[in-house]
Structure 1
Amino acid sequence: MRTADCLAKLAGLCLVAGLLLAGVALPVVGAAGLVSNRMSDHVAAMSINLLDSPPPLMTTITDKDGVPFAYLYDQYRVLTPPDKVAQVMKDALVSAEDRRFYEHQGVDWLATIRAALRNQSEGAVTQGASTITQQYVKNHLVHVLERQDVGGQKEAQEQTISRKLREARIAMHVETQLTKDEILSRYLDVVPFGGTVFGIAAASQAYFETTPDKLTVPQAAMLAGLVNSPTFLDPEARPDKATERRNMVIDLMVENDKLSPEQAAVHKRAPLGLANPVRPLPTGCVGAGPEFGFFCSFVVNHLTRNGFHLNQLKIGGYTIRTTLDRTLTLQAKQAADAQVPKTTPGIANTAAVVRPGKERHDVVALVSNRDYGLDQAKFQTQFDLPSGVENKFGAGSVYKVFTAAAALEKGLGIETVIDTPNSHVSRVFRGGAPNCPGTGEPSTYWYCLSNHNDRYPPRMTLKQALATSPNTGFVILEERVGLDAVVDMATRLGMRDTMATNIAGVPPDPKSQRKDLRVTQAEFYKSAGNASFTLGPAPTNTLELANVAATIMSGGVWCRPTPIVEIRDRHGQVVQFADPCEQVVEEPLANALAVGMSEDDQGQGTAAAAAKQFGWTRPALGKTGTTEEYKSAAFLGATPDYAGAVQVFNDSTSPSGICVNAGPPRLCGEGDIYGGTLPARTWFDFMTKAHAGLPEKPLPAVEPRYLRP
């Protein structure tokens, strides 16, 4: 190109530069194109938007003690104030990217002219002249303002004069609003260091397992060089290129009087010293590990169901302190694995623990014998609803608790004697065996059933019935109090989302060809007059079952089970978040029910053997349950300190029974599992450990009207 042409274009650039420096908004036409009033207004608006738009930050989820166990982010970034960044990092970056950073006002015009001349002479863009301020502007536009706009990102990275002019004008405005240290700090917070790693704090952790204030000269030089081309200079994939670039930065630090040649020689001989492996903090609930992943998932689902968006959590920079008790979770996980090894095909063992209380019900543990991970095709535990219920086969006789509660509300007491014949033909409900014994009439008219065996006495107290679980007695109670009252009691005491699913354990499907799948469980059992509800064939959620025990032990106060202690935003301010509570049954009734359920672990109680196996002697409420075809079994129990539920169920595609005798747990044709076996053993195993060292607390007193009215 002729010298005259170069000089003409250079003159045009200088004219535009002068106008930009002066902030002139008059139209100018030249080699740089058009700068108009409209453009000036647009740039001013973008400058304000850039300064006021915080970058995406990682959200940290901690346990009850404030120790992190999970992270959520799209961009792994933690803001770092200027005084928390080592001076050698600042020196390395300025030396490598912008030696005149502390002298110019956002645009280095000398470097710009020099680069323009070189690029013109070579006929291509071979040298850039962007200052750190301009790079901050570009990176903020690409990775913050245009983060989710592919078109906007492309435009922000175009190699055009108009884009350069826009960046230059914004950069000059930024320099009038921020100090040099603030600009450098913001740049170090927003710039990418490869993959999902953004900002100096994330880079320090990912590459060197350290913090920005502790970076050494070789580490700082490598990171300063890495921003030039994170992919090409990836120190894991191309250690030779990364070392070469690091040493070049060290030489530039010498030229910039930040190191002596002797110091530089020593630093250049140092190995890269990368973390092994190089990786950012894990993101998502898979990163929480096999023990805590289910709890993490519950936290995320709980927040997204109650006002937060997932994207908001990934960019908001929240610190979420949860109710997770690590020790108890590990104890429960070990107990679940001990009773049903995680490699057992087709059998799941889930447990949930909730702390009773009249103001909140803290969820302290959610575990499964399955490890939480990516391979959820084999098993998906739905601790949180309404996405689904994990145990499709039901909790069995645990649901007799709801019948007992409804009976107490209708005027019975726990010492009231009820009929418990070996068999019963109901003239109120329909369904049951093919023919009702002794009637000769089809079961489509009568509901007939029998007890598990013929060793039950014909009559016993309600308290004894809760411990020994005769089927007939509770169906007779259903006749007495009404099925609607029993179903409603289940909802009131805690099975709220569970009862809102259909009998397949998923949200009702109004388009289904089957009527029973179009309605909720509550609607189905009421409309069908199905007395089997008290025998617990309905799909059941383990967490809500545990919360039922917490409601009873809390004097009849139901609270939505919560995993949240406190949420703070990126500025450390508390975000208001609360889960509701309500008195669902009167306190004397709840106290009587707790005492009425207190003999399941004693004498002839269905959980007595399991309690004895683990040396359990504390006062507690409890109830076992087993479904008719032995495809699932459950145990619900509570003390004043902890309430918990365990469900063992078939989670395979083959709906067969579960065998536990004569060998390890396994699927079989005819099952023999009971709530007093694997579920109760799991509960007493971890609850014995959880209560170690805690003072023994008595169950509440019972008012006379709930003993023998």
Structure 2
Amino acid sequence: MFAARASGLVKLLGLCLTAGVLLAAMVFPFVGGLGLASNRAADTVDQTSGDLAKGELPLVTTIQDMNGEPIAYLYDQYRVPLESQQISDTMKAAILAIEDKRFYDHQGVDWQGIARAAAKAGVDGGATQGASTLTQQYVKNYMAFVLGADNEQAAWEKATEATIGRKMREARVALQLEQQMTKEEILTGYLNIVPLGNQTYGVGAAAKAYFKTTADKLTVPQAALLAAIANRPSSLNPGAAPEKALERRNVVIDKMRENGAFGTDQAEAEKKAEEYKAAPLGVVEDLQILPKGCVGAGDGPIYGFFCSYLLDYLRQAGITNKELQRGGLTIKTTLDPKATRAAKQSAEQQVPKTQDGISNVMSVVEPGKDKHRVRALVASRDYGNKAELGQVARPVPAEVLPFGPGSVNKVFTAAAALEKNITGIDRSIDVPAVYYSRVYPNGGAPWKVENAGKYGEKMTLTQALAQSPNTGFVILQEQTGLHSVVDMAYRLGMRETLQGVNRAGEPLKSDKSNGPSQGDWTKQNNAGSYTLGPGATSVLELANVAATIVSSGTWCPPSPVEKVLDRYGKEMPLKEARCEQAVEPDLANSLAQGMSQDTTGSGTAATAASASGWNRPAIGKTGTTEEHKSVAFMAATPQYAGAVMTYADGNRPEVICANPIRFCPGSSQGVFGGQVAAPTWFNAMKVIHEGLPVAPLPPAAARYR
């Protein structure tokens, strides 16, 4: 016992010396030169106190749709920052009663408390335990949950390590802080930062989560519970340990009474305290935690694909993960809830969300010469992590998928041929029933190409785009040059598809060790099948191609964001690709006229258009891969562009058949783009276009006819 007391006296002397050093440092800044702290350490302390005075805490980022309605939230710490007047006096009284009843009497460090803690060290050796003021706790929480937010556990251990050095740093910051902030500001800052369990930080979030109320309306029992679990949310979780939480809450109520929170009449104060202690915990059964991320927020199963694409886009545009998760940003997006719901309903109508191994995805883009706004990204499947329910947590409508769009690629051949004046939209092209290509050999022998239907020997380019003969476009690609066709596809919008992935649709590594890109591979291997669309593709990029064509040849990146505001409402710069004239307007407008017959007459999408009641001018092109494992439809009006792809998304893709949609291995009656993808487009777009005037397609230029 004597040795313990002697040790305690030594520690007491050390703490007294610390106190003197700290006081001297505040009055005589040059004391730092005595070797007790380096200039670097002093600068760190100054920086910390300055940051604390600013009060920049990790905040919730809100993602909004085009109408300003929240659709998702991002955060590391669920926090609702409050001003002092937004926090009840009851809450303030509760936290001061249990944590620092002398808060208004000290200047950041409680020397009496330090002395008591040092004396206690003579008994149990705990010289560095206790004696922390609310100001010091504010500093400690800031070190752990703001500066150390990337690794809170490690930061908390460092911020609470039982060393004299840590106490000295904490105390010095606290002393400086009291010179820079008022007591009310410090108290408010603490109540905004303190962890209160169940992902909540600060009393604003905790009041909503536990009691479905606001911090200015907290009752005594509610405020006492929050004060009870402050900094001890794990061991005093009211859900997991209600008895311990209740016991601690009642201790807080007693401390409030002792501190005069219930008046000066002792009998009346005791009566009130007993009434408060008799109240139940009152925590709501379903904690009101703000949904987090793309899976759980808003209409997650519907909006999640857009949200996921948005986050990838913003990261590439220069917004960091830290800014997204902690910056309190307001992200104003291009998402159209009406278009999204219509597209989702239509996609599911054609392919049920639980359909084994088959998915139906759709992307909608609004054309324009200054921006191509992404209005909807949906799939027949829900967005989510429950694979057993058919959910998927990737932005599949925007990804490059390992399946082809089929004959949709014939559009690129037509565009390149028009640009080289090899043909015009009203000029005839050869359409033999069978064609043997010697330009694109197959194992040394001529490549045999056949049509899927019966056609005349010749037809105009417009008729060919509507009826889709294979031989005519292979011949046209030979005449135009494969490189020109691939380059045209890139220019019109297939950029990630051709240069961002390899032949298998896998993203290219930074060193391109898994390359070459799909576009380079196609050129290097003289892959004449490109015009028939067997390779990986992006449904979003297909939609954007259609948008480029009806925007008179203006390509813009498909953008999901209007602007990003920081926590102060200031717009943040984004690194987005600039719009460019991909092809001259006359060419684009003429191509649009050439694609205008697919939805009418004998066009491959005409049946689907008629069944939906579609009666607007539109460009369109269906596509079906040779093995019928994927089909597509790309189309647009001057107001909206979109693309749909139905594909085998399971581990064992097979031939897909329609009516009903299913796998049919070995069948010769596989599905076509006009049977599933086109109906999805028309049924969705009919709703999306409601209330809009009928807009004509631009006229073709004489030189491209």
TM-score, scaled relative to structure 1: 0.90
- 2:100 pairs with 1:101: no
Judge which range, 124-133 or 559-568, deviates more: 124-133
1:444-501 superposed Cα distances (whole Å, 9 cap, x missing partner): 33232121122x1222211111111111111121122211111111000000010112
Question: What residue identity is the alignment partner of 1:350?
Answer: V
What amino acid is the match of 2:662?
Answer: P
Matches for 1:515-594 after TM superposition, within 5 Å: 518-577=515-574, 578-594=576-592
Q: CA deviation at 1:19?
A: 4.1
1:627 aligns with 2:625: yes
> AA paired with 1:42?
A
Instruction: Tell me if the contact between 2:9 and 2:118 (Cα under 8 Å) persists in the aligned partners.
Output: no
Q: What is the deviation of 1:124? A: 5.0
Letter matched to residue 394 of structure 1: G
For residues 447 and 90 of structure 1, the distance between their equivalents in structure 2, rounded to whole angstroms, comes to 82
Residue type at the aligned position of 2:90: V
| Residue 628 to residue 510, structure 1, CA distance change in 2 (3 Å) | farther
* 2:433 paired residue among 415, 422, 425: 422
Question: Quick one: which of 612, 616, 628 aligns to 1:618?
Answer: 616
Q: Is the counterpart of residue 156 in structure 1 residue 149 in structure 2? A: no
Task: Tell me what 2:671 maps to.
Answer: 673
CA–CA distance in structure 2, aligned partners of residues 527 and 228 of structure 1:
63
Partner of 2:266: none
Is structure 2 residue 311 aligned with structure 1 residue 311? no
SS in 2 for 1:624: strand
Equivalent residue for 1:641?
639
- Percent of aligned positions with the same letter in both sequences? 50
Q: What's the secondary structure of 2:440's corresponding residue?
A: coil
Indicate the residue corresponding to 2:219 in structure 1: 216
- The equivalent residue for 2:420 is 410
State the partner residue of 1:504: 504
Report the secondary structure of 1:357's partner residue.
coil
Greater Cα shift, 156-165 or 14-23: 14-23
Could you report, residue by residue, the CA deviation over 1:582-616 in whole angstroms, capped at 9, with x for unpaired residues?
00001111111112111111111111111111111
The farther-off stretch of 40-49 and 578-587 is 40-49
What is the aligned-residue RMSD (CA, Å)? Answer: 2.8
Indicate yes or no: 2:404 matched with 1:394.
yes
Looking at structure 1, the residues matched to 511 and 114 of structure 2 have their Cα atoms a distance apart, in angstroms, of: 66
Distance (whole Å) between structure 2 residues aligned to residue 384 and residue 450 of structure 1: 31
User: What residue is the counterpart of 1:686 in the other structure?
Assistant: 684
Aligned residues of 2:377 and 2:397 also touching (Cα < 8 A): no
**Residue 655 of structure 1: SS of its match in structure 2?**
coil
User: Which residue pairs with 2:179 in the alignment?
Assistant: 176
Cα distance in 1 between the residues matched to 2:384 and 2:608? 31
Indicate whether 1:344 and 2:355 are aligned: yes
Closer, same or farther: CA 544–512 of 1 in aligned 2, 3 Å = closer
Rounded Cα–Cα distance in structure 2 between residues aligned with 1:458 and 1:704:
25
Counterpart in the other structure of 1:199 = 202
Which amino acid in the other structure matches residue 700 of structure 1?
P
Q: Is the 8 A contact 1:551 1:559 kept in 2?
A: yes
Residues 39 and 278 of structure 1: is their aligned pair in 2 closer, same or farther, counting only changes over 3 Å?
farther
Equivalent in the alignment of 1:283: 292
Q: Deviations over 1:323-357 (max 9, x none)?
A: 11122212211211111111111111111111111
- 8 Å Cα contact 2:609-2:682 kept in structure 1: yes
Q: Is the 8 A contact 1:107 1:171 kept in 2?
A: yes
Give the CA deviation at 1:152.
5.4
Whether 1:60 aligns to 2:62 is yes
Q: Distance in 2 between matches of 1:530 and 1:176?
A: 74
Q: Is the 8 A contact 2:308 2:395 kept in 1?
A: no
C-alpha spacing 1:124/1:283, structure 2 compared with 1 (3 Å): same
Question: In 1, distance between residues paired with 2:615 and 2:541?
Answer: 26
The answer to whether the 8 A contact 2:11-2:127 is kept is: no
How far does residue 140 in structure 1 lie from its aligned partner after superposition? 1.1
Match of 1:301 among 298, 308, 312: 312
Counterpart residue identity of residue 82, structure 1: S
2:472 pairs with 1:473: yes
CA 1:345–1:252 in 2, change beyond 3 Å: closer, same or farther?
A: same
1:253 aligns to what? Answer: 256
Measured against aligned partners, the alpha-carbon deviations of 1:660-690 in whole angstroms (never above 9, x if no partner) come to: 13x3433433252100011011111111111
Any conservation in 2 of the 1:658–1:666 contact (CA below 8 Å)? yes
Q: CA offset at residue 13 of structure 1?
A: 3.8
* Aligned-pair CA distance for 1:177: 0.9
Residue from 361, 383, 394 that aligns with 2:372: 361
Structure 1 residue matching 2:331: 3-state secondary structure: strand
The answer on whether the counterparts of 1:633 and 1:647 sit within 8 Å (CA) in structure 2 is: yes
Identify the range of structure 1 (299-308 vs 465-474) with the bigger mean alpha-carbon deviation: 299-308
Contact 1:600 1:621 in 2 (8 A): yes
Paired residues of 1:26 and 1:35 also in contact (CA < 8 A)? no
**Cα pair distance change 1:534/1:664, threshold 3 Å:** closer
| Alpha-carbon distance, 1:306 to partner | 2.6
**Range moving further from structure 2, 682-691 or 93-102:** 93-102
Cα distance change on mapping 1:99 and 1:706 into 2, 3 Å: same
Are the aligned partners of 1:50 and 1:145 in contact in 2 as well (CA < 8 Å)? Answer: no
User: What is the CA–CA distance in structure 2 between the aligned matches of 1:372 and 1:337, rounded to whole Å?
Assistant: 13
Cα offset, 1:213, TM superposition: 3.1
Give the letter for the 1:277 counterpart.
D
Shift of the 330–125 alpha-carbon distance from structure 1 to 2, 3 Å rule, reads farther
**Maintained 8 Å contact 2:599/2:609:** yes
Contact 1:43 1:170 in 2 (8 A): no
Note the C-alpha offset of 1:188: 1.8
The equivalent residue for 1:438 is none
Structure 2 residue identity aligned to 1:185 = T
Q: Residue type of the partner of 1:496?
A: R
Describe the shift of the 1:173–1:593 C-alpha distance in structure 2 as closer, same or farther (beyond 3 A).
Answer: same
Runs of 5+ in structure 1 lacking a partner?
Answer: 29-33, 432-442
- How many Å apart are 1:220 and its aligned residue? 1.8
- For the 8 Å contact 2:129–2:162, the answer to whether it is kept is no
One-letter amino acid of the structure 2 residue matched with residue 572 of structure 1: G
After the TM superposition, which residues 31-42 of structure 1 pair with which residues of structure 2 at under 5 Å, given as runs?
36-38=35-37, 42=41
Q: Does the CA-based 8 Å contact 1:236-1:278 persist in structure 2? A: no
Aligned partner (choices 254, 261, 276) of residue 267 of structure 1: 276
Q: Distance in 1 between the 2:244 and 2:680 partners?
A: 55
Q: Deviation at 1:11? A: 5.6
The letter of the residue matching 1:606 is T
Letter in 2 for 1:193: L
Pick the aligned partner of 1:113 from 112, 115, 128: 115
Does the 8 Å contact 1:354/1:644 carry over to 2? yes
Query: Greater CA deviation, 255-264 or 536-545?
Result: 255-264
CA gap 1:382/1:230 in 2 versus in 1, 3 angstroms: closer
Return the alpha-carbon distance in structure 1 between the equivalents of residues 47 and 393 of structure 2: 47
**More moved, 266-275 vs 645-654:** 266-275
Change in 2 beyond 3 A, CA 1:227/1:658: same
Cα separation, partners in 2 of 1:654 and 1:172, compared to 1, 3 Å: same
Structure-to-structure mapping, 1:313-332, within 5 angstroms: 313-332=324-343
Which of 152-161 and 236-245 deviates more? Answer: 152-161
Report the Cα distance in structure 1 between the residues aligned to 2:495 and 2:546, rounded to whole angstroms: 14
What is the CA–CA distance in structure 1 between the aligned matches of 2:129 and 2:676, rounded to whole Å? 71
2:441 partner letter:
R
- Report what 1:439 is aligned to: none
Give distance in 2, aligned partners of 1:640 and 1:680: 18
Give SS of 1:428's match: strand
Residue 325 to residue 266, structure 1, CA distance change in 2 (3 Å): farther
How many residues in Structure 1 have an aligned counterpart in Structure 2? Answer: 683
CA distance in 2, matches of 1:64, 1:511: 38
Change beyond 3 A, Cα 1:382–1:238: closer
Compute the displacement of 1:5 (Å): 7.7
For each residue in 1:559-600, what CA deviation from the matched residue of structure 2 results, as whole angstroms up to 9, or x when unmatched? 111111110112221101244210000111111111211111
